[in-house]
Structure 1
Amino acid sequence: MTRPPSATGLRFQLSSRAVSSRDLVQESLTKIDRLEARIGAFISRADPEDLLSTASHIDDLRAKGEEVHPLAGIPVAVKDNIAVRGMEMTCGSRILEGYRPPYDATAVGRLRDAGLIIVGKTNMDEFGFGSSTENSAFHTTRNPANLDMVPGGSSGGSAAAVAAGIVPWALGTDTGGSIRQPAALCGVAGFRPTFGSVSRYGLVSYASSMDQIGPLAKSVDDAAALLSVIAGPDPRDSTCFPHHLGQVDQIPGTLRVGVPQEYLSDACQPAVTKAIADVSEHLSALGWKVTPVSLPLTEYALSIYYIIASVEAASNLARYDGVKYGYSLPDTDTWEEMLIGTRTKGFGDEAKRRIILGTFASSAGYQDQYYARACNARELLSAEFRRAFENVDLLLTPISPTTAWRLGEKTTDPIQMYLSDVFSIPAALAGIPASVIPVGADAEGLPVGVQLCGPPGADSLVLAASRVVESLTVAE
């Protein structure tokens, strides 16, 4: 296995002026023109002349010896549920078609401060409701590894753009696995930070107690570098930590790695099970202690998630009423007709399904039976993770039971689609950091990834360990 040139490698080429930012942007634009019709990674694109002008300005500053951020001038893509001032933000939904935010998300503002150049907004399942990017209201995104396969979701556009080499990295969002699962299916690195370590200001809410912005990239180093740009305190997000998380650049001695046996079920494709066994063997050969552990509440995670996430989604999507912004059904006689018509035509089937489920689970007479019990069960699951981390430093798990599946294969069966997230959801419920590392391919050549999880706040440890796993698999 080999990896393509990385963003962190480009940093040195830019500083030595072996390559120009204008060259990098032009290359991204050329690749979009060549590949976009087949892959469908983007919903909207920035103006090429503006991008090239910005890139030339950064090149001029470097030529004059003026100080610029080491990563300045490198192209990046942004998922279409993150606000970029002046660029359309649809969240993959007709109900927001045409909306252009007058402000930047905090994460986007930090990209701009570092001089990164945003080339476009990437496709996604509507409001993050999906695992294949087939729920977008605009078009389907295809997996660059095999165009007949899904790229995963809901950050499938970002993962596909990176996997296709259109951009070296991109921002995605992860509520129940929407960075990590497409990273694995497309063969790139992805990272879900500890909840609260990256500001959610400017991120359109899906499930507010779980949503996180994070990087997708060609390598773990690139993911860590992009995370370092966007992470940090933000007074505009009350859930954001008031301080930066600590840094770990090297592994502090021998690590203890637990492999939850509940994740190694019959539902796992043989290539996925083999990947966990191979990585375990590699780490044991390094002297790390790899042991089986038990997380028995794993079997309840999917049910917990779809109750809590649907309740939060139903609440968050109540704001789309056809009055304040986005789509509004024309030619209606009453406000009630406009409201019902707007939401009926503006939302897709999966969004409606989750609104109905969330409204029911939080309604009078059912809230205690469903939502309150799910919240209690979530705390028990989080406590189970905390107990596990008393005995191990990290957890090694599959991230998806299978590699990428065929387009259309699961669209008529929502339960099968939900089950594809069974291994990504527990870490999201617990709010812990989790990294996905590509480690090979199945017999059909489709990418396989594994997941490393750590306790809350151990983001840099998870990334440092992920670099080790990456180096072992690249060396094969």
Structure 2
Amino acid sequence: MRIGDLGSINEKYEMFINFSQSNDIDGEFTFSAKDNLTSIDYESTAGSKILEGYKAPFDATPIKRMREAGGALIGKTNMDEFGFGTFCTNSAFGIPKNPFDLNRSCGGSSGGSACAAAVLDDHVSIGVSTGGSIVCPASFCGVYGLAPSYGRVSRYGLIDYGNSLDKVGLLSFKASDLRRYLPIISGKDPHDPTSYVQPELKLGQKKLKSVAIPKEAVKGDGISKDVMECFEKSLEMLRSMSIDVEYISMPTLKYSIPAYYVIATSEASTNLARFCGMRYGQQDGDLTLKFDDYFTSFRSKYFGDEAKRRILLGTFTRMVGYADRYYNKALQVREAIIADYKEQFKRFDAVVTPTMPFISPRFDDISKMSALDSYKADFLTVPPNITGMPHMSAPCGYSDGMPIGLLFTSDHWNEDILIDAAERWDSAFDVRHAEVKI
């Protein structure tokens, strides 16, 4: 299979951290994978200098299953360090460029995967979502992005961000690829106990017939005018497809952002404790130092600013005396949000909102944002992620030449509704190729 010169492509977009040096690939199809999924033939850095040089002795289960189905892994895609970011500007290995405008973000944290899906012909990329890291870049890059139910795809071989939140999914320019590749990467895995709770994946059993629109998510000044106008046109298109559309109330959604960042950073600070310069990646610290001094100096040198920020926040929220006030309270909030969604799914097949509140921002605008501003941008993508429910972003319009995404969320294990929605939407909506596509 001829794939072209990935070197020159990557020089323009910086979507890969590591990639194939050959133009000819032996495989029935090509795919790429986010760099926090381990593979035997490429380094696995999770976008961090602290893991530079680390090559795992095994493939992550999703990669292994894609290879067994005849796929050829052509590269590991760029990402925010350990998944910490909304705009994919926190990688230690360059910043991927949006294929519609090289001065804008691809979205995070699976930015490189979305860029590869938009730029490369007949290509699917494996992404990972914690708080919106599949659907956000899918929206910004004008492709389809599917994050399945938590536990649907094995996390064995994933360099975890938040164990109770991480989900492995797919990004592709073609909606039909979701149906083709989801069964390949899904299924029970003896290496991942969380995968054993899943029922059998049955596609084609359920159709999208009705959607609910949470007023708390779309009413107010949080969403830009152009995105809101596009969203309202999308609702009209859904109605023209004989899908019932109704506004409802989901009051718990406003608590999703604080609950998510407490849970996610608490779990991240624990997961990142293993990266101390003694087992993985970089190991060039001063071994004459005492352990605590070595540990501190090494992590200070190789972790980026956002990783340090989240380690500090997560360590604080699970300290003795604070865990009940923050972490345990956030877990209770998560249960309340799940219950709110479940109540809606008694009447509706899916909950629909815009994917992101604005089009992809320019890098110079991102540099002016505070960390809190960046966190707030996730308020539409965090709710389905914190609940572990499957969700999918579909391109639904364009503003200033930049894509806008429509976010569908269904009940646990109902990926068939999302794939039906994607394929029906794809037949009704003209998805544009990027202007600078290669």
Identify whether the pair has TM-score above 0.5, normalized to the shorter chain: yes
Alignment of 1:230-379 (within 5 A): 230-242=185-197, 244-249=199-204, 252=207, 255-264=209-218, 265-334=220-289, 335-379=291-335
2:73 aligns to what SS in structure 1?
A: strand
Q: Retained in 2: the 8 A contact 1:433–1:458?
A: yes
The code of the aligned residue for 1:415 comes to L
The code of the aligned residue for 1:303 comes to P
Distance in 1 of aligned mates of 2:196 and 2:392: 20
Cα deviation per residue 1:14-53 (whole Å; 9 max; x = unaligned)?
xxxxxxxx2xxx2x332x233211210000013417x53x
Distance in 2 of aligned mates of 1:298 and 1:124: 27
Q: Retained in 2: the 8 A contact 1:231–1:244?
A: no
1:131 aligns to what SS in structure 2?
A: coil
Matched, 1:41 2:5: no
Query: More displaced, 181-190 or 453-462?
Result: 453-462
Gap regions ≥5 residues in structure 2:
433-438
Percent identity at matched positions?
A: 35
Q: 1:113 to 1:475 in 2, by over 3 A?
A: closer
Q: Retained in 2: the 8 A contact 1:251–1:465?
A: no
The code of the aligned residue for 2:7 comes to D
Query: More displaced, 207-216 or 38-47?
Result: 38-47
Structure 2 residue aligned with 1:441: 398
Distance in 2 of aligned mates of 1:246 and 1:107: 15
Query: More displaced, 35-44 or 92-101?
Result: 35-44
Distance in 1 of aligned mates of 2:431 and 2:104: 27
Q: 1:475 to 1:215 in 2, by over 3 A?
A: closer
Matched, 1:385 2:360: no
Gap regions ≥5 residues in structure 1:
1-21, 56-72
The code of the aligned residue for 2:151 comes to G
Cα deviation per residue 1:283-338 (whole Å; 9 max; x = unaligned)?
22232211001111111111000000000000100111111121134334222222
Cα deviation per residue 1:227-280 (whole Å; 9 max; x = unaligned)?
12101111110111355534232654x712111111213121222212221221
Residue 466 of structure 1: which of 416, 422, 431 is its match? 422
Structure 1 residue aligned with 2:77: 122
Q: 1:248 to 1:224 in 2, by over 3 A?
A: closer
Query: More displaced, 352-361 or 382-391?
Result: 382-391
Matched, 1:409 2:339: no
2:4 aligns to what SS in structure 1?
A: helix
The code of the aligned residue for 2:212 comes to G
Distance in 2 of aligned mates of 1:92 and 1:138: 7
Structure 1 residue aligned with 2:355: 399
Q: Quote the RMSD (CA, aligned, Å).
A: 1.7
Structure 1 residue aligned with 2:382: 425
Distance in 2 of aligned mates of 1:125 and 1:400: 18
Cα deviation per residue 1:446-468 (whole Å; 9 max; x = unaligned)?
00110111000101111112222
Alignment of 1:100-179 (within 5 A): 100-165=55-120, 168-179=123-134
2:352 aligns to what SS in structure 1?
A: strand
Q: Retained in 2: the 8 A contact 1:76–1:167?
A: no
The code of the aligned residue for 1:426 comes to P
Cα deviation per residue 1:165-185 (whole Å; 9 max; x = unaligned)?
266110010000000000000
Matched, 1:214 2:214: no
Q: Retained in 1: the 8 A contact 2:131–2:382?
A: yes
Matched, 1:205 2:160: yes
Q: CA deviation at 1:475?
A: 8.8
Q: Retained in 2: the 8 A contact 1:250–1:464?
A: no
Distance in 1 of aligned mates of 2:426 and 2:54: 40
Q: Retained in 2: the 8 A contact 1:93–1:127?
A: yes
Q: CA deviation at 1:357?
A: 0.2
Structure 2 residue aligned with 1:16: none
Q: 1:216 to 1:129 in 2, by over 3 A?
A: same
Residue 40 of structure 2: which of 69, 85, 89 is its match? 85
2:374 aligns to what SS in structure 1?
A: helix
Q: 1:167 to 1:329 in 2, by over 3 A?
A: farther
Q: Retained in 1: the 8 A contact 2:145–2:170?
A: yes
Q: Retained in 2: the 8 A contact 1:195–1:432?
A: yes
Structure 1 residue aligned with 2:436: none
Cα deviation per residue 1:52-106 (whole Å; 9 max; x = unaligned)?
3x34xxxxxxxxxxxxxxxxx2111111000111310000001100000000111
The code of the aligned residue for 2:411 comes to P
1:249 aligns to what SS in structure 2?
A: coil
Q: Retained in 2: the 8 A contact 1:307–1:361?
A: yes
Residue 75 of structure 1: which of 22, 25, 30 is its match? 30
Larger Rg: 1 or 2? 1
Distance in 2 of aligned mates of 1:211 and 1:242: 16
- Normalised TM-score (structure 2): 0.94
The code of the aligned residue for 1:97 comes to E
Q: CA deviation at 1:397?
A: 0.8
Structure 2 residue aligned with 1:452: 408
Distance in 1 of aligned mates of 2:343 and 2:42: 45
Structure 1 residue aligned with 2:435: none
1:402 aligns to what SS in structure 2?
A: coil
Q: 1:455 to 1:275 in 2, by over 3 A?
A: same
Q: Retained in 2: the 8 A contact 1:452–1:466?
A: no
Query: More displaced, 117-126 or 334-343?
Result: 334-343
Distance in 2 of aligned mates of 1:199 and 1:404: 30
Aligned length: 429
Structure 1 residue aligned with 2:4: 29
- Normalised TM-score (structure 1): 0.87
2:168 aligns to what SS in structure 1?
A: strand
Q: 1:475 to 1:445 in 2, by over 3 A?
A: closer
Q: Retained in 1: the 8 A contact 2:183–2:201?
A: no
Cα deviation per residue 1:409-460 (whole Å; 9 max; x = unaligned)?
2345111111121100000011111011011211x10001101110001011
Q: 1:276 to 1:245 in 2, by over 3 A?
A: farther
